Amino acid sequence: MSHLWSGRFDALPDDEVFEFQASFGFDRQLFEDDVTGSLAWAEALAGAGVLSRGEATAIRTALEEIRDRGRADPGFVEGPDEDIHAFVERQLIERVGDAGRRLHTGRSRNEQVSLDLRLYLRRRTAGLQRELVALVDALASRAEAAGPALMPSYTHLRRAQPILVAHYFLAHAVAIRRDHRRLETAREEADALPLGSGAVAGTSYAIDTAALAERLGFSRVVANSLDATADRDFVSAFLHACAGTMVHLSRLAEDLVIFASEEFGFFGLADAVTTGSSLMPQKKNPDPLELVRGKTGRVIGHLTGWLTTMKGLPSGYNKDLQEDKEAVFDAETTVRSSTRATTLVVRSLTLDPARTESAAAGLALATDVADLLVARGVPFREAHEVVGRMVRDLLATNRDFASLSPADWRRYHERLDADAAGRITARGSVTARRTPQSTAPDAVASALHEVRRWVDERTVATDH
């Protein structure tokens, strides 16, 4: 078989070397986008007078036929070709001969591959975002179902202060929404037409790049052909968004692994999202969550690997750039499957409010006692000291604030009367919060309302 570049060569490439540098094994995923780009390029060449109207029509008909065959039968996208661009061109020439041989006029695979990947990411990012919306929806449902239930919050994985369970779920929803936003930013980064850049210096045919951009749905044209043929910042942005998403999924997974353990028992995992042990009959393991946590490593690896590939490249296209695709495809697949698995787990979570509420009380109310003293005019540092002494005594006798009599309270400080004691509860603690981002029930209710609106807007928007 001859190659796209065989003219200059005396000998065929070594089979193993050819195989090593070929990308058809994975860039066939760009089939659809490569055809889309070529359809538009044929139009642009006709507009520039390089192709006759008849040739352009023949190319269009053949490309559409190729696209339809590829859609109907993925096995069609096969062959000894170096990459997807060579495959489409070969198919075209087989159908229309010389007209097909004219299609690559003024165009380089260097810009073509950038175009294909930009089209691919633009097309696929929305699907990932939809998965994130579904996860936010599931988290919002758990928040809603939790109602007024209380749980402890943690710092250093030590009990800190009482919060609403709803506040906990909404915290993860807020982080996932940032990932949604970052994917949007990555999509905007990819939204520039690279065609017209040629191999590196631009093209000498009268290509109307603005019309081409509009036809392909790009909002702008790249600014510099030398930069554009080697620019993959849109890939870095996408991988960064993917890695960030995985970090959030992983942290949620880690929380749920811990909170659903026998030791905590806050949440229950449905049988359908757990696995058993081949040896220990009692086990019900959170394997999907562990796997989400585990897969985070490889997506972070794609980001760091890719940035490392980019960092040493001299100006202009270099074959190293071909490494972009496997990173993108695997990151996308991993984020998608991990998000879906996480959503299924979250949807099926059950809550044990008796356990979360008893864990939310106890010494987690120490700050509230200090706040009470502050409200009664005691400087905070002094209040902290007083309550610290109380905590020390309670720990020594394995008790909590609820066990103290009015006389006990007063013994620690004259301003701690019976009325004060009655106020030191987990419920009192959350209702005392004032700021909009706090766990105060009103604040959480409006946060939940806002998340619901965010989900609804996106669910409606994708329905049509």
Residues identified as active-site: 156, 277
Which residues in 290-319 contact ligand ARG (CB under 6 A)? 317, 319
Question: Please, which residues have CB within 8 angstroms of residue 125's CB and are 6 or more apart in sequence?
Answer: 183, 184, 186, 187, 190, 238
Q: Nearest to ligand ARG by Cβ — which residue?
A: 322
Whichever of 78 and 417 has its CB closer to ligand ARG, that residue is 78
- Between 83 and 131, CB nearer to ligand ARG: 83
Query: Which of residues 36, 38, 91, 110 is near ligand ARG by CB under 6 A?
Result: 110
Question: What's the closest the beta carbon of residue 315 comes to ligand ARG, in angstroms?
Answer: 14
Burial 256-265, CB ≥16 within 10 A → b, else e: bbebbeeebe
Q: Are 75 and 154 in contact (CB under 8 A)?
A: no
The answer to whether 8 contacts ligand ARG (rule: CB under 6 A) is: no
Per CB under 6 A, contacts with ligand ARG among 314-373 are: 317, 319, 321-322
User: CB-based contacts of 42: which residues, under 8 Å, 6+ apart?
Assistant: 51, 56, 59, 60, 63, 103
Q: Which of 129/229 has CB closer to ligand ARG?
A: 229
User: What is d(CA 445, CA 143) in angstroms, rounded to the nearest whole number?
Assistant: 10
The nearest distance, CB 295 to ligand ARG, in angstroms, is: 25
What tokens does 270 get? 């449905």
In the list 23, 125, 225, 245, the residue contacting ligand ARG (rule: CB under 6 A) is 23
CB of 110 to ligand ARG, least distance (A): 5
Q: How far is the CB of 109 from ligand ARG (least distance, A)?
A: 4
Nearest approach, Cβ of residue 67 and ligand ARG (Å)? 20
Site for ligand ARG in 113-132 (CB under 6 A): 113
18 versus 154: smaller Cβ distance to ligand ARG: 18
User: Is the CB of 106 or the CB of 152 nearer to ligand ARG?
Assistant: 106
d(CA 339, CA 264): 24
Minimum CB separation of residue 56 from ligand ARG in Å reads: 24
Q: Within a 10 A sphere around the Cβ of 336, how many other Cβ atoms?
A: 17
What lies within 8 Å, CB to CB, of 106 at 6+ separation is 45, 48, 50, 198, 203, 204, 205, 207
Q: Which of residues 90-109 bind ligand ARG (CB under 6 A)?
A: 109
Binding mask 182-201 for ligand ARG (x = CB under 6 A): --------------------
Residue pair 146/351 in contact by the 8 Å Cβ criterion: yes
CB 169 within 8 A of CB 139: yes
Q: Which two tokens stand for residue 118?
A: 């930009």
Pick from 83, 131, 137, 179: which binds ligand ARG (CB under 6 A)? 83
β-strand partners of 193: 221
Please say which residue, 234 or 317, places its beta carbon nearer to ligand ARG: 317
User: In angstroms, rounded to a whole number, what is the distance separating the alpha carbons of residues 259 and 197?
Assistant: 54
User: Buried (b) or exposed (e) across 22-33, using 16+ Cβ within 10 A?
Assistant: bbbebbbbbbbb
Residues that bind ligand ARG (CB under 6 A): 23, 27, 83, 109-110, 113, 317, 319, 321-322
